[in-house]
């Protein structure tokens, strides 16, 4: 499912109306009916409804809601919050209501209603709200009545994850044809509540050129009957330093659980006994370095690279001058797919991100927002609010694959595509979760799958395994290794498409 911005949605509306010939009033009618359907599903006890309508098409959608609920026997009132000088289809909807004997309220007794329909501002709105809009948003929020927002909670900006003030705090949002950026990114998604996406008759093909996509399901690759471990990838996971050996251990166990044929761990030679005592199914490779990897370790890896199908570097590695040289050596000379995580990214930030343009191999970076801030010199707030855009720009500029992690995860490709995953749980906000993701991803990269398929599956699997593990434990008690042990069940859920959806459809 594509993810759109406000102007993109307006363009699709215009094409549907002007080029395909879908009457605009029909789109408005279908939009309003879809909101009615969502209300009936989610608020079956609500019978007294107040519609707060603006002057544009969003207000017109709200007036359609008012009419149909009225005809179904609901007690419906409405307010023309920004004045009665409506135009076009919204004006027609207003005239129909008046012909039915429904006049707009001049004053509102908030205690008389069970539900509010917010139809004040739509996807074309650009914050901040001013004047009467501010007053009505604040009144809705302070009413303590459940709110259903039409298309977008009034006051938000469709293109951003920013939580604008003031903006409506909706319990449910019904958007049309495609989700918008603000519905999916935090913190703005908090204002949207439960999200429905309704089909109002705009052809899906009109959005084919949009490169943002919501990751709703993935495929698990099948093993051929004659397969053996050598065909399932041999991955090398490199990292660790004094006090930080656990990171590579978690990554290694995740790779094995994900299905890698063979897993080896490269570790500073004096720390190898710790790894040997902690791993059973995985192998270890002592690399040059005392407490931390040396530049000679990178040269050893390069001499051994033909033994491996993919490498992951950086988990527990530490941030130090020789670490920069280590990362530089691999970037310039490694020909196999290379995943950079954790301190490999921090060392790259110190070294200079321009080195990503060097070398010939596939590069995958998996930063969280703090690491991406160090790489790019952008403020965290800007990254979070423009999460998809900054990922796309980075991946294109540096010719790499980027897996940017926060409360959502976005996969960006060198050719400008972005896939957003909403899987996961706040219980995963703990150390080690990123190490597990790196282990999952490198296992799939080592399978020689198409890059986008491997990354989409890995990110989705990681988030879903977190959800599975949380149900078995508790959100406060979830550990990274609990997530590793939930990978098999997550695989089963993916294959059977038995997981809960994160958004809901109205046909």
Chain segment 263-278, per-residue pLDDT in tens: 999 999 999 999 999 9
Ramachandran assignment for 497, one of left (phi > 0), alpha (psi -120 to 50 degrees), beta (any other): left
- The backbone torsions φ and ψ at residue 236, rounded to the nearest 5 degrees and listed phi first, read -115, 125
Strands 409-412 and 401-405: antiparallel
pLDDT band at residue 507 under the 50/70/90 scheme: confident
Q: What percent of the chain has pLDDT over 90?
A: 98
Dihedral through CA 63, CA 65, CA 67, CA 73, nearest 10?
A: -150
Q: Could you list the beta-strand ranges (E) of 424-480.
A: none
pTM, entire model? 0.96
Closest to 129 (Cα-Cα) out of 159, 100, 157, 103: 157
Q: Stretch 442-452: mean pLDDT, rounded?
A: 96
The alpha carbon of residue 4 and the mean position of all alpha carbons in its chain are separated, in whole angstroms, by 13
CB atoms within 10 A of CB 87: 11
Give the per-residue pLDDT at 75: 98
Flag whether pLDDT at 291 surpasses 90. yes
Closest to 344 (Cα-Cα) out of 317, 321, 368: 317
Share the mean pLDDT of the chain.
Answer: 97
pLDDT band at residue 359 under the 50/70/90 scheme: confident
Secondary structure letter of residue 180 according to DSSP: B
Strands 310-315 and 338-340: parallel
Closest to 433 (Cα-Cα) out of 406, 472, 473, 395: 406
- Residue 293 in tokens: 């990897």
Give the per-residue pLDDT at 183: 98
CA angle 94, 97, 100 (to 5 degrees): 155
CATH 3.40.1190.20 fits 229-499, yes or no: yes
Q: Stretch 369-374: mean pLDDT, rounded?
A: 98
3-state class (DSSP) for residue 2: strand
pLDDT digits (tens, 9 = 90+) for 54-82: 999 999 999 999 999 999 999 999 999 99
Give the per-residue pLDDT at 8: 98
pLDDT digits (tens, 9 = 90+) for 456-468: 999 999 999 999 9
Q: What percent of the chain has pLDDT over 70?
A: 100
- Residue 322 in tokens: 């020789």
Flag whether pLDDT at 141 surpasses 90. yes
C-alpha distances (whole Å) from 67 to each of 32, 51, 64, 111 are 9, 10, 5, 21
Q: Stretch 317-339: mean pLDDT, rounded?
A: 97
CATH superfamily label, 6-208: YjeF N-terminal domain (3.40.50.10260)
The alpha carbon of residue 12 and the mean position of all alpha carbons in its chain are separated, in whole angstroms, by 23
pLDDT band at residue 163 under the 50/70/90 scheme: very high
For the chain, what are the domain ranges? 6-208, 229-499
pLDDT digits (tens, 9 = 90+) for 165-175: 999 999 999 99
User: Where is 482: in which H helix or E strand?
Assistant: helix 480-496
């Amino acid at each position: 499912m594509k993810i759109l911005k406000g102007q993109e949605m307006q363009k699709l509306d215009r094409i549907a109306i002007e080029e395909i010939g879908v009457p605009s009033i029909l789109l408005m009618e279908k939009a309003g009916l879809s909101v009615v359907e969502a209300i009936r599903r989610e608020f079956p006890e609500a019978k007294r409804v107040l519609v707060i309508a603006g002057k544009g098409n969003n207000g017109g959608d709200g007036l359609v809601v008012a009419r149909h609920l009225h005809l179904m026997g609901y007690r419906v009132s409405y307010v023309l919050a920004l004045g009665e000088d409506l135009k076009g289809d919204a004006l027609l909807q207003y005239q129909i209501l008046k012909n039915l004997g429904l006049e707009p309220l001049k004053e509102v007794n908030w205690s008389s209603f069970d539900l509010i329909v917010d139809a004040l501002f739509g996807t074309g709105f650009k914050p901040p709200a001013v004047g009467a809009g501010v007053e009505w948003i604040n009144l809705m929020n302070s009413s303590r009545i459940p709110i259903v927002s039409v298309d977008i909670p009034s006051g938000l900006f469709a293109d951003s994850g920013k939580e604008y003030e003031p903006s409506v705090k909706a319990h449910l949002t019904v958007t049309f044809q495609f989700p918008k950026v603000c519905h999916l990114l935090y913190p703005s998604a908090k204002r949207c509540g439960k999200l429905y996406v309704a089909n109002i008759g705009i052809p899906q093909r009109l959005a084919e050129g949009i490169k943002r996509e919501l990751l709703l399901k993935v495929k698990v690759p099948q093993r051929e009957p004659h397969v053996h471990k050598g065909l399932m990838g041999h991955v090398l996971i490199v990292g660790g330093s004094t006090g930080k050996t656990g990171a590579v251990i978690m990554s290694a166990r995740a790779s094995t659980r994900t299905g890698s044929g063979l897993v080896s761990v490269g570790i500073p030679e004096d720390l190898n006994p710790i790894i040997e005592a902690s791993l059973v199914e995985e192998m270890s490779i002592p690399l040059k370095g005392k407490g931390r990897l040396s530049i000679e370790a990178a040269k050893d890896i390069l001499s051994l690279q033909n033994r491996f199908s993919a490498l992951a570097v950086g988990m527990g590695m530490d941030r130090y001058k020789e670490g920069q040289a280590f990362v530089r050596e691999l970037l310039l000379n490694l020909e196999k797919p290379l995943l950079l995580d954790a301190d490999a990214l921090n060392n790259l930030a110190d070294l200079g991100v321009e080195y990503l343009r060097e070398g010939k191999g596939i590069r995958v970076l998996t930063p969280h927002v703090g690491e991406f801030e160090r790489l790019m010199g952008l403020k965290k707030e800007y990254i979070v609010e423009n999460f998809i855009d900054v990922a796309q720009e980075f991946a294109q500029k540096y010719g790499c694959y980027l897996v940017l992690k926060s409360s959502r995860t976005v996969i960006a490709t060198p050719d400008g595509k972005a896939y957003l995953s909403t899987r996961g749980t706040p219980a995963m906000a703990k150390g080690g979760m990123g190490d597990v993701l790196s282990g999952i991803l490198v296992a799939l990269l080592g399978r020689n799958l198409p890059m986008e398929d491997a990354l989409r599956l890995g990110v989705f699997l990681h988030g879903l395994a977190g959800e599975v593990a949380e149900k078995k434990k508790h959100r406060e008690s979830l550990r990274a290794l609990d997530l590793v042990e939930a990978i098999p069940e997550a695989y089963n859920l993916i294959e059977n498409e038995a997981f809960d959806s994160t958004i809901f459809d109205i046909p």
